[in-house]
Amino acid sequence: MPPTVPRPLEPVLREFAEVAGCLWDLGWAEASAGNISADVSELLKVPPSKGRAGTALPTPLPALAGRSFLVTATGSRFRDLRRAPEDKVCLVEVSPAGDHVSWRGIVWNAGDIRPSSELISHLGIHAVLREQRSDHRAILHAHPTHLATLTHLERCSGSAELNRLLWSIHPEVKLLAPRGATMLPHLVPGSNELGAATTRAVRDGADTVLWRYHGCLAHAPDASTALDRIHVLDKAARMVLLCLASGEPWRGLDDRELAELFARYGH
């Protein structure tokens, strides 16, 4: 085990720390909530631990054969990760056959570190992204307060209603988050069902998946860009909640104004 962070991983680790700190400041990573992963295969010239046995994957992921990932550790607090990420992030390696996974710390004093309990869900999504030849390398899960709150409103019972509301109250959301959010029904946190439904949504083209009553998962070229997209959507959600709280009548963009917006920035 190397005594210091392998140099090629330093920028990714720094970005994890910055994004984790932002999530903490935003109140979207309470206690040990939130997780981040990034495919670092292209940064590591030599697969570092060929031949490690590892744990069998529930479903083989040939698209990830031999690939490596940085993944935040289970139980890690993002407020601590901001300050000292080195021993709170795992290096996860998929076997050359794509059927086993192993992990270790990236510094000598990381101890018995384990990746996020959402590891299998993250890997399933990374596999879809590789199959789609996407340049997206990072996945971020957090609990954006306003967006999650909005999923409790009856008027936001589906993705179409929710996105219409977000785009109509803050038109630039269409520019910065053109696909909006794909909302899933409530599924038990950490369940295989939630992981499978999220992977299906990503396979169908979603880049931001909103878990009803819970939080958000986004993929992007890097963790900062994933955070940007969730931030934009949450800003619009906050504006909706502020309008509702004001008690004043409010309108947002009407159908004609939305049609103009879509004509310019696509559906």
Task: Return the number of the residue (105 or 215) whose C-beta is nearest Zn ion.
Answer: 215
Q: How is residue 172 written in tokens? A: 């630039």
Residues 6+ apart with CB under 8 A from 123: 57, 61, 64, 69, 92, 94, 101
Q: For 177-201, b where at least 16 C-beta lie within 10 A, e where not — what string?
A: beebbbbbeebeeeeeebbebbbeb
Contact segment (CB under 5 A) with Zn ion among 103-111, 144-152, 159-167, 211-219 equals 211-219
Residue 214 CB, nearest distance to Zn ion (Å)?
A: 6
Residue 143 CB, nearest distance to Zn ion (Å)?
A: 6
Contact segment (CB under 5 A) with Zn ion among 22-30, 62-70, 209-217, 243-251 equals 209-217
Q: How far apart are CA 126 and CA 37, in angstroms?
A: 9
Residue type, position 223, single letter: A
Task: Return the number of the residue (144 or 180) whose C-beta is nearest Zn ion.
Answer: 144
Residue with structure tokens 């000292």?
84
Task: Return the number of the residue (109 or 191) whose C-beta is nearest Zn ion.
Answer: 191
The residue whose Cβ lies closest to Zn ion is 215
Residue 249 CB, nearest distance to Zn ion (Å)?
A: 35
Task: Return the number of the residue (152 or 256) whose C-beta is nearest Zn ion.
Answer: 152
Task: Return the number of the residue (32 or 134) whose C-beta is nearest Zn ion.
Answer: 32
Name which position in 85, 144, 180, 215 contacts Zn ion (CB under 5 A).
Answer: 215
Residue 195 CB, nearest distance to Zn ion (Å)?
A: 12
Residue 178 CB, nearest distance to Zn ion (Å)?
A: 25
- Count of positions on this chain that bind Zn ion (CB under 5 A): 1
Task: Return the number of the residue (215 or 252) whose C-beta is nearest Zn ion.
Answer: 215
Task: Return the number of the residue (167 or 211) whose C-beta is nearest Zn ion.
Answer: 211
* CA contacts within 13 A on the Cβ side of 57: 27
Query: Could you tell me which of 238, 248, 223 has the C-alpha nearest to residue 173?
Result: 238
Residue 34 CB, nearest distance to Zn ion (Å)?
A: 7
Residue 33 CB, nearest distance to Zn ion (Å)?
A: 5
> Cβ-count burial of 63 within 10 angstroms (0-12 exposed, 13-18 middle, 19+ buried)?
middle
| Binding footprint of Zn ion on the chain (CB under 5 A) | 215
